[in-house]
């Protein structure tokens, strides 16, 4: 988890432009929450969230027009707290002179955008939530298989990287090898990426480190991807019990997000890449409402009924 991002990062990633204070873009943003200072314009500061990005839209600027210069300047000076990272004015609205003065006095930059308040609020929240979210390192390989983010896990030496390399060779895309940094984008979405030092790289026993992007092209890698399915590779044992019908519905919880999970036995002669590819496509089919297990059960019940009538 990043403790903070800079205002300059927010400018680059949320379609913003600097209206004032270019020299102060290194101010930190420490929370993904965005403030719409409505009550503050009336002079109510008891619960003012000063550490948030302050967003002014049509409602706020229209209200400010009805205030006297002294009233508005007093309010803006209170809003320009030491911990306030920046002000953002939406919809290409004119910036009140009182805000310009107060922000200049306290070295707070003012940003602008032609986007509406709701759109820019969504952009900023999405970016900041991803950057400031709690992160967890997971041992495994993350591969995008036809649009399905598959996290391949298993004991060291079971063949995760080799299987992922075969998937890349079959046209799928590598996100991260060996260590996957994951964070919860929301209550239902887990996102994974590679640590900066491992981006686009894989370790293959007997060969060493290879650069997947250099060998297979930019279309063979992704920066990040949703973790939608976990495939756990487990060394085959005659005593181990594995799902044969696909009706167990196993899951694994990471950062409070529940992710579907399947376990695949690793045995000499099995083409793991094709099996994992099929698991991903089966998961997508189930997500679209088609379940092969239910079809099998329906066929079996129909056959049983037919035989019972004959009897």
Asked whether the beta carbons of 91 and 114 are under 8 A apart, the reply is yes
For residue 159, say whether it is annotated as part of any ligand binding site.
yes
Q: Is 291 annotated as a binding residue?
A: no
Q: Is 155 annotated as a binding residue?
A: yes
**158 assigned to a ligand binding site:** yes
- Catalytic pick from 46, 65, 244, 310? 244
- Residue 203 counted as an annotated binding residue: yes
* Residue among 173, 165, 179 nearest 273 (CA): 165
27, 52, 144, 160: the active-site residue: 160
Confirm or deny that 118 is annotated as ligand binding: no
Catalytic residue (one of 139, 170, 267, 302): 139
Catalytic annotation on 291? no
Distances (CA, A) of 25 to 57, 90, 132: 21, 18, 18
> What is the C-alpha to C-alpha distance for residues 128 and 113, in angstroms, rounded to an integer?
17
Q: Which helix (H) or strand (E) holds 29?
A: strand 28-29
Tell me how crowded residue 200 is: count the other CB atoms within 10 A of its CB: 21
225 carries a ligand binding annotation? no
The catalytically annotated residue of 6, 15, 77, 178 is 178
And the tokens for 88? 């953002």
Q: Is 244 a catalytic residue?
A: yes
The closest of 38, 26, 35 to 55, measured between CA atoms, is 35
Q: Is 157 one of the annotated binding-site residues?
A: yes
- Per the annotation, does 62 bind a ligand? no
3-state secondary structure 223-253: CEEECCEEEEEEECCCCCCCCCCCCCCCEEE
Q: Annotated binding residues for Mg(2+), as ranges?
A: 161, 203
Q: Annotated binding residues for ATP, as ranges?
A: 154-161
- Catalytic residue set: 139, 160, 178, 244
Q: Annotated binding residues, as ranges?
A: 154-161, 203
């Amino acid at each position: 988890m990043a403790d903070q991002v800079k205002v300059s990062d927010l400018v680059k990633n949320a379609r913003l432009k600097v209206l004032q204070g270019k020299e102060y873009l290194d101010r930190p943003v420490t929370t993904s929450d965005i403030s719409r200072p409505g009550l503050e314009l009336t002079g109510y500061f008891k619960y003012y969230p000063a550490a948030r990005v302050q967003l002014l839209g049509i409602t706020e600027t229209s209200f400010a027009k009805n205030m006297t210069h002294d009233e508005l300047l007093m309010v803006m000076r209170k809003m320009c707290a030491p911990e306030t990272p920046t002000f953002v004015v939406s919809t290409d609205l004119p910036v009140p002179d009182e805000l310009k003065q107060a922000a200049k006095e306290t070295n707070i930059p003012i940003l602008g955008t032609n986007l509406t308040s709701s759109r820019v609020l969504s952009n900023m929240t999405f970016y900041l939530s991803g950057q400031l979210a709690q992160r967890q390192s997971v041992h495994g390989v993350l591969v995008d298989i036809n649009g399905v983010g598959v996290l391949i896990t298993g004991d060291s030496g079971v063949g995760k990287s080799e299987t992922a390399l075969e998937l890349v060779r079959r046209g799928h895309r590598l996100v991260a090898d060996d260590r996957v940094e994951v964070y919860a984008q929301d209550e239902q979405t887990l996102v994974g990426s590679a640590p900066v030092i491992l981006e686009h790289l894989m370790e293959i026993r007997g060969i060493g480190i290879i650069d997947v992007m250099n060998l297979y092209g930019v279309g063979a890698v992704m920066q990040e991807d949703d973790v939608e399915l976990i495939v756990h590779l487990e060394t085959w044992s005659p005593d181990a019990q594995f799902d044969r019908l696909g009706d167990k519905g196993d899951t694994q919880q990471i950062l409070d997000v529940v992710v579907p999970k399947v376990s695949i036995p690793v045995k000499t002669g099995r083409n793991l890449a094709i099996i994992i590819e099929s698991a991903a496509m089966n998961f997508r089919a189930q997500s679209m409402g088609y379940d092969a297990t239910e079809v099998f059960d329906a066929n079996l019940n129909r056959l049983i009924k037919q035989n019972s009538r004959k009897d």
